[in-house]
Amino acid sequence: MQSETISQPTAYEMAVHNFEAAADALELSEDIRAMIKYPERILTVEVPVRMDNGRIQRYVGYRVQHSTARGPAKGGIRYHPDVTLDEVKALAMWMTWKCAVVNVPFGGGKGGVTCNPKELSLNELERLTRRYTVGILPLIGPAQDIPAPDVYTNAQVMAWIMDTYSMTKREGYPVPGVVTGKPLCVGGSHGRNEATARGVLHTLECACEHLRLRLKGARVVVQGFGNAGSIAALLLGGHQSLIIAVNDSRGGVYNKDGLDIPKLMLHKERTGSVVGFPASEPISPEDLLALECEVLIPAALENAIHGENARAVKAKVVAEAANGPLTPEADKILEGNGTFIIPDILCNAGGVTVSYFEWVQNEQHLFWDIYDIQQRLERVMKTSFTEVVNLHVDRKVSMRLAANMLGIGRVAETTAARGLYP
């Protein structure tokens, strides 16, 4: 999503930039910064895969643990052609602050394999996943580091990881707590699949209350129609918001009177894209971001909104379902225009929150029903929003800085209390 002419900051540069701003605002000492800023562990693995044609194709994968100060590392696994170590380091760092914002006892981690899963058969995807899992075995485990789904990985991929770990580490019996986002039948949790989107909905409800805006009837634009984006659109449609445009990697669709999201989800399932949906007109990625609307939900990849296109954004609220969709330059422009930003480490934290619930259920062998999950999730999201917005108002800082101050402040506090080995 980077501009072809002007180079945008890398994801890790953005993460470090935002860390330093929060550390300055918190007046953290250089010693504490040195202890919490850098990744604790970085693993790069070779992933040779036997393809369906009998040949070996080589892939490269990563697992980064940014912090285990507050608990086991937690974070998704991404399969995408643009995965780099820089990106995985940034995503792991954001996970550390995110887990602290919602106050779950996890640190931050992330993983990825540089590959194009759309070009792999199901069998090739399974072999790649199992081989990658063997590569990262030294790091993962229910008490050390717990992966989850991210871009182009899903519950099935988590089931393969769980199975591979269980076969190799524990002589054959299942260890469901090693991953979250699993299918229900292998120890997954009710509500995990929709958790990120439900969290987006709750933070939007809070933001609208804070801004005295009405979510009912609000025009919503969604960039990225995957797990986070499509379910957010579905839930908001259920709250009578008008989803006027969405897109995915292949193109976008627009209808000023609102798209029928359940039908659009079926269309995407059948055809692989939102493109060509009846009762809609095509829209380019640039025009989609520039639409007149109340709410814009970036739900694709990093750097989607940057110095070159931020001025075109007209939304009153930007809800960051994706991680890192705004560059620091875009932040400045949107804040200057009075746009209210719900920052990623708050907005999309519903996913890791229900991942935490799933892990607790696995560890206790005691399962909760969907009502328990939804109530607990709503409480966590609304409490976290209140804590961030209070800092935003009291300290007169941006929502992003407020969220980073809350998360980074908690990690700094734990680190200072624990001290260092001599």
Residues in contact with ligand NAD by CB under 6 A are: 1, 149-152, 196, 223-229, 247-249, 285, 299-301, 321-323, 348, 351
Q: Give 257: exposed, middle or buried? Use CB within 10 Å, 0-12, 13-18, 19+.
A: exposed
Q: How far is the CB of 35 from ligand NAD (least distance, A)?
A: 26
Q: Which is nearer to ligand NAD, 275 or 397 (CB)?
A: 275
Q: How far is the CB of 349 from ligand NAD (least distance, A)?
A: 7
Q: Which is nearer to ligand NAD, 23 or 283 (CB)?
A: 283
Cα(398)–Cα(332) distance, integer angstroms = 10
Q: Which is nearer to ligand NAD, 28 or 72 (CB)?
A: 72
Is-catalytic flag, 110?
A: yes
Cα(341)–Cα(296) distance, integer angstroms = 10
Q: Which is nearer to ligand NAD, 187 or 252 (CB)?
A: 252
Q: How far is the CB of 347 from ligand NAD (least distance, A)?
A: 9
Q: Which of 80, 130, 126, 89 is nearest to 110 (CA)?
A: 89
Cα(412)–Cα(399) distance, integer angstroms = 19
* CB closest to ligand NAD, residue no: 226
Q: Which of 226, 243, 237 is nearest to 299 (CA)?
A: 226
Contact assessment for residue 308 and residue 277, using Cβ atoms and an 8 Å cutoff: no
Both tokens assigned to 235: 């839930």
Q: How far is the CB of 78 from ligand NAD (least distance, A)?
A: 7
Cα-based distances in Å from 151 to 155, 203, 249, 258, 280: 12, 22, 12, 26, 26
What are the backbone angles phi and psi of residue 24, rounded to the nearest 5°? Answer: -65, -45
Angle of helix 399-418 relative to helix 11-25, nearest 10 degrees, comes to 80
Cα(49)–Cα(217) distance, integer angstroms = 49
Q: Which is nearer to ligand NAD, 2 or 50 (CB)?
A: 2
CA angle 82/134/136 to nearest 5° reads 55
Q: Which is nearer to ligand NAD, 299 or 388 (CB)?
A: 299
Q: Give 273: exposed, middle or buried? Use CB within 10 Å, 0-12, 13-18, 19+.
A: middle
Q: How far is the CB of 271 from ligand NAD (least distance, A)?
A: 12
From 110, 182, 268, 316, active-site residue: 110
Q: How far is the CB of 392 from ligand NAD (least distance, A)?
A: 21
Q: How far is the CB of 289 from ligand NAD (least distance, A)?
A: 10
Q: Which is nearer to ligand NAD, 351 or 407 (CB)?
A: 351
Cα(258)–Cα(237) distance, integer angstroms = 9
Positions marked active-site: 110
